[in-house]
RNA sequence: UCCCCAGUAGCUCAGUUGGUUAGAGCGGCGGACUGUUAAUCCGUAGGUCGUUGGUUCAAGUCCAACCUGGGGAGCCA
């Protein structure tokens, strides 16, 4: 008899048929005569109820079927005599595949804190919450590839190890095979990276954008989807040292095309989750609702599924930075001096300002555009006003910046002038500048933090709970 | 990195103005129970009070430093 996945059994299993299920025991309960095993194999949030007639099984075997143990059960699928599930499996035989000492197995049949599960990241997949999160994560990754494939984008693998440190996206992790205790030194006493593996200093990538542009200016539309590394000492619920980023880059796209793509893309992913992950989303939504009960009325947020549907239904607000400053200056918190940071044209918006715009004023995702050039990267398209650049940041409620992008400066002279102003060594970037020397065209792109999208779709509050093995300062245990 | 909070049983927490032998719920284990839904009922074991140092006759409790975790901020995606 072939093993069926529990998802399949619950969906298509015919009562009266013989089936084999394999999985991990969530709970076992019952009385002298009958035991009930909640069995989960990860294929779905739902458990299969296994009914065990105590008299027809070895007592020793039943004793070893504890929370966390792996078992194989064969038996007859029948209509459930109890409420709570439509079908259940009447066990004819049970094999103990792997026992789990109940005195030592950390995951107990009770509610655990997310903090505790984070410290048991190797086992947290076995909980409802994390199995739901990681099934959704898979679905989102798949949706991303599906979306871009359908749009005719090419998936480009940009390098993980890079010699470029010019983008200034953040602190980098050095990649080196030199002996850390006794590295070769130059005459000036500095570490001599010319003797290193690559013959120069290399780091883990902070962004695939610059290489992505090279691809776009030949293939037309490309996207990257891979790990990205930032050695910033950030300790927040929204940052990781290793995270996954999606970076599309498109030739012949101006800023508006870029925004249209970003909005359509986000909505596609959210729609995909609603179409394909409803069981898991419902579980997470209920879980959130339980948590919200402990919060005061005014701090409660919208139901998770309603929130996702809301984003789908509404156009994102598109607002130039300059107008956003006006909105903020006319806002109640500004007039009552409730903002901690100043609001003036030319300063970067702080979290509190973004939150006000998204969560209080517009109550809707917002795309802020045309930021002052001095607070943005060198490669952004310089607008005709001489003050702003064609940047766009997509701000989501509860998350803040989920996408950062721009139209890229395609004019060689403007670009090199800007690089000089910002002390970016043009000679090291010769390969990047070649795109502007040979057949340069209008092009645009953006970066989406995959885990931030995951935060939004799952409603989880901490970014370390939407990636399997989070890398953060002082934390690389698993 | 900065600000705030926390660290006591496997987990979640309580522990009074510093004072005898550190508690509860859940989980585990043993038992009871005719179909349970994170079952219920009875019983039971389980502790280097984050670490180091200090104050004191006496520290889980007060002080300092450090470590770890959480929330917020900055940096950003």
Q: Is the CB of A227 under 7 A from strand B?
A: no
Phi, psi angles (nearest 5°) of residue A20: -120, 130
Q: Is the CB of A294 under 7 A from strand B?
A: no
Question: In this complex, which residue's CA is closest to the C1' atom of nucleotide B67?
Answer: A474
Range A69-79 average pLDDT: 95
Predicted local distance difference test score (pLDDT) of residue A31: 85
Range A273-285 average pLDDT: 96
Query: How large is the C-alpha radius of gyration of chain A?
Result: 27
* Structural tokens at position A83: 């409420």
Predicted local distance difference test score (pLDDT) of residue A84: 83
- The whole-number Å distance from A108's CA to B7's C1' is 21
Residue A90 pLDDT class (50, 70, 90 cuts): very high
In DSSP terms, which residues pair with A79 in a beta bridge? A87
pLDDT > 90 in chain A, percent: 85
- The whole-number Å distance from A4's CA to B74's C1' is 51
Q: Which of residues 71-130 of A touch strand B (CB under 7 A)?
A: 80-85, 88, 90, 102-103, 106, 108-113, 115-116, 118-119
Mean pLDDT of chain A: 93
Strand B footprint nucleotides (protein C-beta < 7 Å): 1-2, 10-13, 26-30, 32-39, 67-77
Q: Is the CB of A220 under 7 A from strand B?
A: no
Q: Is the CB of A420 under 7 A from strand B?
A: no
Predicted local distance difference test score (pLDDT) of residue A295: 64
What does pTM read for this prediction? Answer: 0.95
Nucleotide nearest to A405 (CA to C1'): B77
List the one residue out of A319, A425, A330, A326 whose CA is nearest residue A364: A319
First-to-last alpha carbon distance for chain A, in angstroms, is 37
Write out pLDDT tens, residues A172-230.
Answer: 999 999 998 899 999 999 999 999 999 999 999 999 999 999 999 999 999 999 999 99
Q: At what angle do helices A255-276 and A304-313 cross, to 10 degrees?
A: 140
CB A196 within 8 A of CB A178: yes
d(CA A222, CA A157): 10
Predicted local distance difference test score (pLDDT) of residue A389: 97
ipTM computed for the complex: 0.92
Residue A405 has pLDDT above 80, yes or no: yes
């Amino acid at each position: 008899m072939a093993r069926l996945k529990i998802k399949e059994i619950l969906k298509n299993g015919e009562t009266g048929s013989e089936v084999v299920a394999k999985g991990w025991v969530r709970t076992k309960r019952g009385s002298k005569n009958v035991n009930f095993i909640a069995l989960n194999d990860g294929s779905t949030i739902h458990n299969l109820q296994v009914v065990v007639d105590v008299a027809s099984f070895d007592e020793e075997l039943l004793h070893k079927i504890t929370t966390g143990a792996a078992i194989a059960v064969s038996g007859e699928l029948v209509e459930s005599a109890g409420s709570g599930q439509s079908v259940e499996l009447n066990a004819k035989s049970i094999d103990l595949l792997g026992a789990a000492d109940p005195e030592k197995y950390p995951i107990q049949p009770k509610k655990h804190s997310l903090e505790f599960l984070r410290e048991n990241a190797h086992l947290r997949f076995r909980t409802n919450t994390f199995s739901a999160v990681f099934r959704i994560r898979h679905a989102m990754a798949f949706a991303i590839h599906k979306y871009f494939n359908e749009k005719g984008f090419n998936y480009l693998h940009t390098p993980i190890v890079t010699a470029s440190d010019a983008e200034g996206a953040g602190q980098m992790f050095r990649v080196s095979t030199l002996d850390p205790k006794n590295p070769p030194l130059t005459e000036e006493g500095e570490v001599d990276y010319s003797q290193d593996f690559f013959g120069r200093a290399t780091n883990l990538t902070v962004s695939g954008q610059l290489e992505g542009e090279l691809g776009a200016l030949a293939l037309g539309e490309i996207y990257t989807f891979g790990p990205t590394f930032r050695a910033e000492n950030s300790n927040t619920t929204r940052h990781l040292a290793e995270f996954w980023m999606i970076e599309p880059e498109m030739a012949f796209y101006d800023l508006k095309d870029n925004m249209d793509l970003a909005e359509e893309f986000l909505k596609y992913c959210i729609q995909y989750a609603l179409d394909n992950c409803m069981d898991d989303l419902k579980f997470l939504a209920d879980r959130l609702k339980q948590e919200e009960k402990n919060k005061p009325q005014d701090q409660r947020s919208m139901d998770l599924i309603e929130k996702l549907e809301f984003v789908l239904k509404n156009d994102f607000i598109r607002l130039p930075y300059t107008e956003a400053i006006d909105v903020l200056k006319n806002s109640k918190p500004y007039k009552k001096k409730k903002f901690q940071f100043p609001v003036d044209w030319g300063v970067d918006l702080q979290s509190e300002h973004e939150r006000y715009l998204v969560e209080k004023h517009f109550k809707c995702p917002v795309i802020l555009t045309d930021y002052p050039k001095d607070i943005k990267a060198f490669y952004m398209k310089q607008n005709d006003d001489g003050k702003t650049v064609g940047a766009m940041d997509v701000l989501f409620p509860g998350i803040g910046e989920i996408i950062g992008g721009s139209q890229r400066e395609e004019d060689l002279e403007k670009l090199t002038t800007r690089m000089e102003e910002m002390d970016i060594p043009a000679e090291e970037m010769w390969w990047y500048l070649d795109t502007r020397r040979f057949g340069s065209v209008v092009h645009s792109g953006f970066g989406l933090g995959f885990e931030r999208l995951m935060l939004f779709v799952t409603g989880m509050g901490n970014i370390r709970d939407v990636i399997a093995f989070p890398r953060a300062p002082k934390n690389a245990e698993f």
